[in-house]
Structure 1
Amino acid sequence: MAIDRSLVIKEMKSVFVLIILGMLFAWSGLGCNECTFNSPRFWKIGSLNALMWVALWKGNSYLANFISWKWPWIKFPMKRFIIGLIVTIVYSLAAMYGIIALYSWSLQVAINYSTGYSILITIIISLFMHGREFLINWRQVAIDAERLQKENIAAHYESLKSQINPHFLFNTLNVLTNVVYEDQDKAAKFIKQLSEVYRYVLDTRDREVVTLDEELKFLMSYLYLQQIRFGDKLKLNIQLEGVKSMVAPLVVQMLIENAIKHNIVSEENPLEIHVYTMDNFIVVENNLQKKMVFSEESTGIGLENICKRYEFLSNTPVEIIQNDKFIVKLPVIPVHA
Structure 2
Amino acid sequence: MIGIVSKKSFWVKQLKEIGVIILISLPFAFVSCPDCFKNPEHLGWVFFINSIAWVTLWKGNSYVADLIDTRYYWVKYPVKRLMLGILGHVIYTCIAIVCIFYALEYLFDISMGNIKNILTYSVVFTMLISLILYSVSFLRSWRELAVESERMKKEVISSKYESLKNQVNPHFLFNSLNALTNLVYEDQDQAVKFIKKLSDVYRYVLESRDKDLEELEMELKFAESYLFLQKIRYSDSLQVSKQKMEPKGVRIPPLSIQMLLENAIKHNIISEDEPLQIDIYQEGGYLFVVNNLQKKNIIKSESSEMGLANIKARYSFFTEHPVIIDDSDHKFTVGLPLLK
| TM-score normalised by L of structure 1 | 0.89
Alpha-carbon offset, residue 9 of structure 1: 4.9
Matches within 5 A, 1:238-253: 238-244=242-248, 245-253=250-258
Matches within 5 A, 1:1-337: 3=6, 9-26=12-29, 28=30, 30-35=32-37, 39=41, 41-104=42-105, 105=109, 109=113, 111=115, 114-244=118-248, 245-293=250-298, 298-324=303-329, 325-334=331-340
Q: Contact 1:262–1:294 at 8 Å: present in 2 too?
A: no
More helix by share: 2
Aligned length: 332
Q: Contact 1:261–1:296 at 8 Å: present in 2 too?
A: no
Change (3 A) 1:295 1:98: closer
Q: Contact 1:92–1:122 at 8 Å: present in 2 too?
A: yes
Alpha-carbon offset, residue 151 of structure 1: 1.1
Alpha-carbon offset, residue 69 of structure 1: 2.5
| Code of the aligned partner of 2:18 | V
Instruction: Percent identity, please.
Output: 43
SS at match of 1:301: helix
Q: Contact 1:29–1:35 at 8 Å: present in 2 too?
A: no
Distance in 2, matches of 1:239 and 1:106, equals 76
Query: Gapped runs of 5+ residues in structure 2?
Result: none
Query: Gapped runs of 5+ residues in structure 1?
Result: none
Q: Contact 1:175–1:228 at 8 Å: present in 2 too?
A: yes
Change (3 A) 1:217 1:311: same
Alpha-carbon offset, residue 220 of structure 1: 1.5
Once structures 1 and 2 are overlaid, which stretch shifts more, 256-265 or 51-60? 51-60
Once structures 1 and 2 are overlaid, which stretch shifts more, 105-114 or 9-18? 105-114
| Code of the aligned partner of 1:199 | R
Q: What's the C-alpha RMSD, in Å, of the aligned pairs? A: 2.5
SS at match of 1:290: coil
Change (3 A) 1:112 1:229: closer
Distance in 2, matches of 1:29 and 1:278, equals 64
